[in-house]
Amino acid sequence: MDIARSQRRALVAFCAAAVALYAYGVLSAGCIPRHIEGIVLPLDFMAGIPLGFYLLVVRPRRLTLLSVIPVIWIGYGLSALALGSPDAGILPFLLAALLPVEAAIAARECLRIARAFKAARARSCDPMAWFRETMLYLVRKEAAAGVTSAELSVWYYALLSWRKGPYVLPGEKTFSYHNAGGYMNMMLGLALAFPVEIVAVHLLLSQWSAVAAVVVTALSVYAAGWLVGDARARAMRPIAVGEDHVRIECGIQMEAVIPLSEIESVAFSEGDISHIGEPDRLNYGAFYRPDVWIVAKGSVEVRTLLGTKRVRAIGVSVDDPRALASALCGASA
């Protein structure tokens, strides 16, 4: 706890000092002799501050060296702004010297990322686990890794999963949920409506602003791809009951593994779990109307898009809720 606090303080101190140095360098550029300014300012902005960022932020937090490269380019942009030209002073020579360093850093880190991804694939058959472990190497934070891995996973399922089979471990019995509550019917309806809507909105906005039309169309295509990926993930990540566990999934949005010995009951309505408070529940039913509540004896860990939570009851929608309840009760008996 003390280490984390000291690291946060170091980060805040560095950010404050860097902003102060950047501001001072830009504002005082006119007061410094031109021949000195053209040497000191680029060195400070493109070498000194990135080095401090590495020593105070990257190294203590074990972040990837790739995070230093944007700091170098911010320094380059501010140096060009303060000096009035990207060709002033030693700026072009310093840039030429740093480009090979940046290329070497990028090549080294890309190789490490590829190794991390390959190792994750060797350990698991779950695509989300591949991306999560890889992003943990990059950002070192569970919440940030969860969000970015979910984003990568949704595009994997939208574009690359069509010849793949569902994620099922040996000995598991699966229960689908992508059709529950009319979810897939709604997705099919949106799939039919989206192309017409995207074209119509683009033509309408283009009469007012071509830039706005392109931006809105790009966002609409992104949203359509995201919905396709999420729907595909629901089909590819079924709920699975093994010999001693149940693996609860909800597309890319949630996953939990609960030992069967820890399951207290299976309920079919919220009224049956009224003794469990709202903070101890997670509702992942289709349109927030679950037809099965899996209740644990104690709190269990659930991984969500925003990090991990501990709850007692998880609500889901299943195509055949009675069959799931029967499998859970029979396996845990």
What are the phi and psi torsion angles at 242 (to 5°)? -100, -165
* 29 has a pLDDT exceeding 60: no
Which residue reads 């992003």 in tokens? 135
Residue 146 has a pLDDT of: 82
* pLDDT digits 0-9 by tens, 224-251: 888 889 889 999 999 999 888 999 988 8
Q: For residue range 111-149, list pLDDT tens digits in order.
A: 999 999 999 999 988 888 899 889 888 887 777 788 888
For the chain, the structural domain boundaries read 2-113, 167-333
What is the CA 168 to chain-centroid distance, rounded?
23
Confidence of residue 25 (pLDDT cuts 50, 70, 90): low
pLDDT digits (tens, 9 = 90+) for 282-315: 998 888 888 899 999 889 999 888 778 899 999 9
Give the pLDDT band of residue 2 (cuts 50, 70, 90). Answer: low
- Kindly report the pTM of this predicted structure: 0.77
Residues 6+ apart with CB under 8 A from 20: none
d(CA 171, CA 115) in angstroms, rounded, equals: 30
- pLDDT on residue 38: 73
281-305 burial: b if 16+ Cβ within 10 Å, else e: bbebbbeeebbbbbbbeeebebbbe
